[in-house]
Each structure stands twice: as C-alpha cells, then as structure tokens.
Amino acid sequence: MLRRMSIRRQVAFALAIVGGILAVAIGASLYQVRETQRLTGHNLEVRAPALLAASKLLAGVDRSQAELAGGLLHPDHARTHARAAAWLEEVEPALARLEVLAAGGDGAHVQELRSLATGLRTAQEAIEQRGPAAQQSGLELERSAQQAERIRALVLGLVAGEAELLERDAALAREQVAELLLLHWLLLGSGVVAAGLAGSYIGRTVRRRISAESGELMGSVAELRTSSHELSSGATAQVTCMSEFSNTIRELASASVQIVERCRQVARQSEAAVLRCQDGGHAVAQAQEVVDAIKAQIEKVVHHMLELGSKSQEINLAADVITELAEQTTILSYNAAIEAAAAGEAGRSFAVVADQVGRLSDRAKEAVRDVRALIADIQRSSNTTIMATEDGLKAAERGREVQADAGEKMEQIIDVIQNALDSIREIEMSATQQSTAALHVNVGIESAAAAAKRFETSARQCLQLAGALTRSAENLNDI
Amino acid sequence: MRDPTLRGERLGRQLRELRESYERALAAPRVHERALGDPHVLFEVAGSTFALRAAELGELRNATDLVRVPAGGPLIAGAIAHRQEIVQVIDLRALFELPERGGPAGFVLVLRPLALRTGVLCERLLGLHRVAPDALSRLDRVYASGHFMHGARSVAVLRSEALVQDPEPG
C-alpha cells in the first residue's frame, strides 16, 4: 500500500511518523516539566510563604515580647494597645499561612502553633487589660515569653522540616530532569532512526519514481516538443490565415462600400426611372386620347367610304340603264340602216345618220364600260380603303388595348421599380451594416492575429522549453 | 387604277372624232353604190358567222320578245309579233346542225323578202358592213349565195328567200 502512495504522501506519512514521535517526546517532556513546575511551584507557593510567615511570626513574637517588656516599664495603655493590635495584624496572616501549610503537611505542629499564638494573644490581651498590675502582668509576660519561646521552637522546627522537604523536592526535581533528558535523547535517537529509515525508503522510492517519471517526462517532453512544433507551425499558419482573412475582410469591407455606392447610384437611377415611367404613363394616357381621336376619324372615313360604295352601286344601276339605252340605240341604228338600205339611194344620208347613231351607241357602250371600270376601281379602292380602315380600327382598338395594357404595365413597372428601390435601400443599409461589421470583424481578426502571433511566440518558447526539459529529464535520469 | 382624267379626255376626243366623221360622211362626195357593195348585217350563231343583205331585212329586235311555240319542231324557235303580224322565228343551229350555241339568243332578224316574214334567231350581232362585189365569192347552195372574209372570219351570205320559203334542214 505504501508503494502505491505518492511521493508527497509518503513524505507526509514519514514526517507524520517523525512528528508523532517528536510530539510524544515533547508531550512527555512537557508533562514532566509541568509536573516539576507544579511541584516546585507548590513548594514555592506554599512552603516559601509559610517560611516567610514563620520568620515574620518569629519577628512579631520577638517584637511583641520586647514591646510587652517595655510596656511594663513604661505603662502606656494606649500605645500598648496599638502595638498589640499591630502585632496581631502581623501575626494573624502568618498564622493563616501556617494553617494553609499545615493543611498539606504536618497538621500537629500547626495546631500547636495556633494554640500557642492564641495563648500569646490572650496573654497580650490580659496584659493590656490589667495595665498597671505589674505583677500579674509580669506573670503573664513570663508566661507569654514561655509561649513565645515555645513558638520560636515550633517555628524553627517547622522551618527545619520545611527545609528538609524542600531539599527532598529539589532532589526529586533533579531526578525528574535527568529522566527527562534521557527520555529526550531516546526519543531523539528513535526519531533520527525513523527519519533515516523513512528517508532511505523514500529516497529509493523517489529515485525509482524519478527514473520512471523522467522516462515518462522525456516521452512527454518529446510529445510536447512535437506538439509545440505543430503548435508553432499551426500558429504560423494561423497568423498567415489571419492575415489573409484580414485582407479578405478588408476587401469585403471595400466591396461593401462599393456596393453601398452602387446601391445609391441604382437608387438614384430607379428614382429617375420611376419619374420616367410616370411621364411614360402620362404619355400613354395622351396616346390613348390620340388613338381615340384617330379611331373616331377612321370611323368617319369608314362611314364615308360606305356611302361612296352605296353611291357606286347607284352609279352601276345608272350605267346599266345607259348600257340598255345604248343597246337599244344600237338596235335602233341597225334598224335605221336597214330602212335606209331598203330606201335605196334615197336613204343614203339616212344610212349615214344610222351609222353615226350606231357608232355613238358603241361609244356610249365603251364609255359605260369605262365608267363601270372606274366604278369597279373606285369600289375596289373603296373596299381596300374600308378594309384598311377596318384594319386601322382594329389596329386602333388593339393599340388602345395595348396602350391600356402598357399603362397597367407601366404602373406595375413603377411598383416593381419602387419595390426594387426599397430593396436597394435595404441592401444599402445592410451593406453599410456589413461594412461596419466587417471593420469590427477586421479589428477582431487583427486582435486574433496578434494573439496568434503571441501564441506562435509562446509555442516557440514551449519548443525551447521542451528542449530544456529534455535536458533536465536526461540529467534527472542520470541521478 | 386608270386615270379618270385621261378617260374623260379620251371620251371627249372620241365624241369629237365621231362628230367629225359624221360631218365628213355627210359632206363626202357620192360614189357609185355598186362599187361599195351592198350593206350586210353580220351575226353569229353557235360560233359561225353569217350575213344577210340589209335590203332583205325588215327589222332587228331583241330576242326577249320571242315567245316559245308548243310543238313547233326543232327548227322553230318561237314567234314574235312584228307590225301586227305573228312571225315565226327559225333556229339556224338546228337548220345547219351546228353544235351547241355559244351563248343565249340575243336578237331576232326579221326577214322580209317577197313580202314574206320570217325571223332568224342569232346570238350576237357583229355589225353592218358593205361587202364589195369582188370580195364576195359566189356559192350555189340552197341557203347560201356566197361567202367572204371579214378579217379572219369566213362569213356565209344566207339566201333569205330560201329561209323564208323552205326552212328545212339542208
């Protein structure tokens, strides 16, 4: 399981073990120091004040004894009372200290000491109450002196006991310090040994891992070099593409500007075309009026031509009559000639007349034929004219329809041109937006090209770094 | 289309020429009638041209006056009223066995030789012409006494007395 752990975890595990050992050692040391301090502190806090209180008690007893002795020589009850009160103030805390000391130690001495102090105070109070009764006071003084001596002896004994206890505590503390030092050395040694073992194990593991990782690192560096080379090539290609793309976008923007200008030109031309179409529509309307007038005139011509045809028919009837008359005249001239021939010489002049009448009738027939030819020509011309006028009427009607259709087409053309004009304006707006967008895109592309350039530089640096890593990996592999 | 102005001028010129011809004819000196020949009426039947002496004719009439005669035979085309007389009209086509007529019958020539009256149906009149004696070739036929050339036409001169007396196929 340990081999499967990472180097960092192995190091952390080893450090945790060493740290644990050191923590146990330090804890034990701290515990030992704390115990020693507690013991020493207890001695210092309890016995030292007791010893000080004992010394103060002894000094107070001596001073009380001296004051009592002086008071007997020079009785001054007020002063004596004050000194007794001061003595009590000094003795009472000392007694309290001693009681505390006695609670943890030799209680019999303290009880005795307290009873002696009580007796001493009682004696002192008795001295104060009796005042001038010197004799009794002397007795009391003597008794208090005895009690004071007894107190001194007890205090000295107590001090001696405490000194012995202190000596014993000091010896115990020295032993504990020695044990602590030994424990420290043992823990330090075990820590060093554990650290050495862990370091050796970790060193082997690290070397093995370094060897494996350096192999992988060299492979990765090789791949990194390949990737960096590809990245560099790609970045170079990307820079080139970006440059070409930027040029293309600039050309696109330029083309958009040209499109905008062309759209404006086309819009102006479309507006002119709309005006022209509107003029054309007016012209078509006027042409329709003209065509209507022409149609009316043609209808009049047709009417007159029909009347002319009717008159020609009447002329034909008249020609028929003339022809019949000529025929009859011819027959009459023949008959006249026949009669003249029957008359012989007498009818010679009459024969001439008959001959002339016959010729005249012949001329009349020829004239009638000419008239008929003329009428036929007129009728043909009339028919041709009528057909032409009918064609003209049809053409005029068709022209009117065509003009009406042209007018509608003109309106449709105007609508189409108007729609085209709207579309062109939308195209112009879109082209303007496209131009602006192209410029923005070009700015973005130039930024991207700069980024690609930086990326290319970074890729080359990566390539150089890969070389450096290869060397480092080789050096690491040599370790 | 011909110019009507030219037509009018031509007609006026013709009338003027006609008047001048008439005046010249009246003012012309008399010549020997025999040298000029007898006047003949030329007519056409079924494409053939015939002539009759004008002196033997009584009248020329339209065929519209012809009245069909029931059971008159193929030679009799019908009858007409001529000067308060009923005159038979013969059909030369049937008489001379001519082919189908060239057109509708237009005229009736009333013959009057020997105070007899007979009509001859014809299709078209070709005019009145004098036939000089030297231009006339004599024929000894029942119904034809001679013939002459009128332009490119050969004209047979019919015997009116034969047609009046014996209208039989010959």
Q: Which residues of A touch B38 (CB under 8 A)?
A: 341
DSSP A183: H
pLDDT tens-digit series, residues A251-269 = 888 888 888 888 888 888 8
Q: What is the mean pLDDT of chain B?
A: 83
- Check whether A129 has a pLDDT greater than 70: no
Kindly tell me if the per-residue pLDDT of B70 is higher than 50: yes
Report residue B44's pLDDT band, with 50, 70 and 90 as the boundaries. Answer: very high
Residue A194 has pLDDT above 90, yes or no: no
- B146 or A174, which is more confident? B146
Place B51 in a pLDDT band, splitting at 50, 70 and 90.
Answer: very high
Q: For residue A137, what pLDDT is reported?
A: 60
Nearest to A341 among B18, B55, B59 (CB): B55
Kindly report the nearest CA distance between residue B74 and chain A, in angstroms.
27
Q: Range with the lowest mean pLDDT among A223-227, A274-278, A287-291, A395-399?
A: A223-227
Q: Are A371 and A319 in contact (CB under 8 A)?
A: yes
Q: How far is A311 from chain B (nearest CA, A)?
A: 17
Residues in chain B closer than 8 A to A331 (CB atoms):
60-62, 107
A386/B103: higher pLDDT: A386
Q: What is the mean pLDDT of chain A?
A: 78
Q: What is the pLDDT confidence band of residue B170, given thresholds at 50, 70 and 90?
A: very low
A356 to B25: CB separation less than 8 angstroms, yes or no: yes
User: DSSP letter string over A280-345?
Assistant: HHHHHHHHHHHHHHHHHHHHHHHHHHHHHHHHHHHHHHHHHHHHHHHHHHHHHHHHHHHHHHHHGG
Nearest CA in chain A to B52: A338
pLDDT at site B146: 92
Q: In what order do the strands lie in the sheet with B124-131?
A: B124-131, B38-45, B48-53, B153-158, B144-150, B137-138
Instruction: Give pLDDT, residue A165.
Output: 75
Please give the Cα distance from B82 to A124 (Å, whole number).
231
d(CA A317, CA A266): 72
Q: Report CB contact under 8 Å: B60, A351.
A: no
Phi–psi pair at B81, nearest 5 degrees? -95, 120
Q: Inform me whether the pLDDT recorded for B156 exceeds 90.
A: yes
CA distance A341 to chain B (A): 5
Three-state DSSP class for residue A400: helix
Q: A349 to chain B: which residues are within 8 Å by CB?
A: 26
Share of chain A above pLDDT 70, in %: 81
Interchain proximity A363–B4, CB inside 8 Å: no
**CB-CB neighbors (< 8 A) of B119 in chain A:** none
Q: Which pLDDT band, with edges at 50, 70 and 90, does B164 fall under? A: confident
Query: What's the confidence (pLDDT) of residue A181?
Result: 81
Q: Is the pLDDT of residue A343 over 50?
A: yes
Report CB contact under 8 Å: B125, A355. no
B169 pLDDT more than 60:
no
Residue B33 and residue A330: Cβ atoms within 8 Å? no
Contact B7 A335 (CB under 8 A): no
Cβ <8 Å between A342 and B54: yes
Between B116 and B85, residue with greater pLDDT? B85
For residue A75, the tally of other CB atoms under 10 A from its CB is 16
Interface of A with B in 312-341 (CB under 8 A): 327, 330-331, 334-335, 337-338, 341
3-state SS, residue A75: coil
Query: Does A478 contact chain B (CB < 8 Å)?
Result: no
CB-CB under 8 Å, B62 with A331: yes
Contact yes or no for A334 and B41 at CB 8 A: yes
Which residues of chain A neighbour B41 with C-beta distances below 8 Å?
Answer: 334, 338
The C-alpha of A371 sits at a distance from chain B's nearest C-alpha, in angstroms, of 9
Mean pLDDT highest for which of A227-231, A295-299, B43-47? B43-47
Q: Chain A interface, mutation test: which of B128, B129, B160, most A Cβ atoms within 10 Å?
A: B128
Looking at chain B, which residue has its C-alpha nearest residue A366?
A: B11
In this prediction, residue A402 carries a pLDDT of 82
User: Chain A residue with minimal CA distance to B11?
Assistant: A367
* Contact between chains at B55 and A342 (C-beta distance less than 8 A): yes
Closest CA to A351 of A329, A365, A336: A336
Cα–Cα dist A203/A190, whole Å = 19
Question: Is the CB of residue A381 less than 8 Å away from at least one CB of chain B?
Answer: yes
Q: Does A367 touch chain B (CB under 8 A)?
A: yes
Give the distance from residue A281's alpha carbon to the nearest chain B alpha carbon, in angstroms: 44
To the nearest whole Å, the CA of B127 is away from the closest chain A CA by 8
Is any Cβ of chain B less than 8 angstroms from the Cβ of A345?
A: yes
Q: Is A351 on the interface with B (CB under 8 A)?
A: yes
d(CA A270, CA A415): 11
What's the pTM? 0.45
- B-interface mutation test, from A322, A338, A369, most B Cβ less than 10 A away: A338
pLDDT at B43: 93
A135-139, A270-274, A299-303: the lowest-pLDDT one: A135-139
pLDDT at B66 over 60: yes
- Chain A partners of B106 at a C-beta cutoff of 8 Å? none
pLDDT at B158 over 90: yes
Instruction: Note the pLDDT of residue A74.
Output: 59
Rg (CA), chain A: 79
Give the pLDDT confidence of A144-167 residue by residue, as tens digits: 777 777 777 877 777 777 778 778
Q: Indicate if the pLDDT at residue B119 is higher than 90.
A: yes
| Position with higher pLDDT, A144 vs A382 | A382
How far is the alpha carbon of B71 from chain A, nearest alpha carbon, in Å?
30
The residue in chain A having the minimum alpha-carbon distance to the alpha carbon of residue B34 is A345
* CA angle (B114, B116, B117) in 5-degree steps: 135
Please state the φ and ψ torsions of residue A132, each to the nearest 5 degrees. -70, -15
Model confidence over A424-437: pLDDT tens digits? 888 888 888 888 88
The answer, yes or no, to whether residue A104 has pLDDT greater than 60, is no
How many beta carbons lie within 10 A of that of residue B127, not counting itself?
Answer: 15
Identify the residue with better confidence: A69 or A291. A291
pLDDT of A360 reads 84
pLDDT tens per residue, range A62-84: 776 776 666 665 556 666 667 66
A249 vs A128: which has the higher pLDDT? A249
Q: Mind listing the pLDDT tens digit for each residue in A132-142?
A: 555 556 676 67
Least confident of A81-85, A333-337, B107-111: A81-85
ipTM given for this complex: 0.82
Q: Determine the pLDDT at residue B154.
A: 92
Sorting pLDDT into bands at 50, 70 and 90, what band is B149? Answer: very high
Residues 6+ apart with CB under 8 A from A306: A386
